Amino acid sequence: MSTASYLPDIVEYAVSAGLQVRSNTLNKEQTEFCCPWCGESLSKGKYKLSLNRLKGVYKCFTCAEHGGILDFIQKIENRPREEILNGLRQKNGVNLAKLQKRRNKKHPAELLSATQLKLIGFLDNRTPQKKVRDKNYIKKINDWIWAEWLQYLDSKKRDALVHLILCIENNQFQQGIEHLENLSKELDHNLVDEVLEAYGSGNQSPTWAEGVNNISRGLKEVYQSSLRQ
């Protein structure tokens, strides 16, 4: 069973989640809602969020939030993507144990989500398997994708650790954690434990965190210098 087969109707989900809908657009190709992310902007209370139930996509024409049904559910419910997927799988009778066994046999690059692939400039990590039967070639492509992802992830972890250090030094620990949690959602990868562990590792920091203390010190000095000018 493919993921698409058990995804909910995006319009029905939005209505069930309590979003305010323009009722005369319910049966149209583009159904209009009040955007829950525009906050106190000029569009609050206006129907600027457009949902396409056939394509399973959404877009707000004011704040520019957009994406597919899974992104939509993730933003509305503020839950990890995999947790949402597992809930949908169980609801549709998918055996999670068997699914995990199949996933364990796959190359890690094949398990990256469309969102993660897009972050590193790839549109579809399954294209090689569809067009080429050469297993060695497919492995090389997947190895390349995975290496790009790990490199990208390391850079994001470094940035997150620098941000956390600066927050802690300014007695803003909670803001640092919130930043980590938000970044984890954007990446569809939990950074919190890794970054906190690196922060507490002292001189035994992981390779990706080497030199981070120097970076944070340099940024702090630049900031303090700008205040004195």
Q: Residue 221's pLDDT is what? A: 58
Which pLDDT tens digit goes with each residue over 179-209? Answer: 988 888 888 888 888 888 888 876 677 888 8
Instruction: Please report, to the nearest 10 degrees, the dihedral formed by the alpha carbons of residues 16, 17, 19, 20 taken in order.
Output: 30
> What pLDDT does 200 receive?
82
Domain with CATH 3.90.580.10 in the chain: 3-84
Global pTM value: 0.59
Element (H, E) at 33: strand 30-33
| Domain 3-84 -> CATH class | alpha beta
Structure tokens at 104: 């364990």
Res 1: pLDDT: 47
Single-letter amino acid code for the residue at 141: I
Backbone φ, ψ for residue 187 (5° rounding): -85, -15
CA 170, CA 224: separation in Å to the nearest integer? 12
Q: What is the pLDDT of residue 40?
A: 59
pLDDT at 145: 93
Per-residue pLDDT of the chain (229 residues; tens, 9 = 90+): 455 667 889 999 999 999 999 999 999 999 999 998 886 566 666 899 999 998 889 999 888 888 888 889 988 988 877 788 878 777 777 766 776 677 677 888 988 888 888 899 887 645 545 556 778 888 898 899 999 999 999 999 999 998 898 888 888 889 989 898 888 888 888 888 888 888 887 667 788 888 777 776 665 655 555 555 5
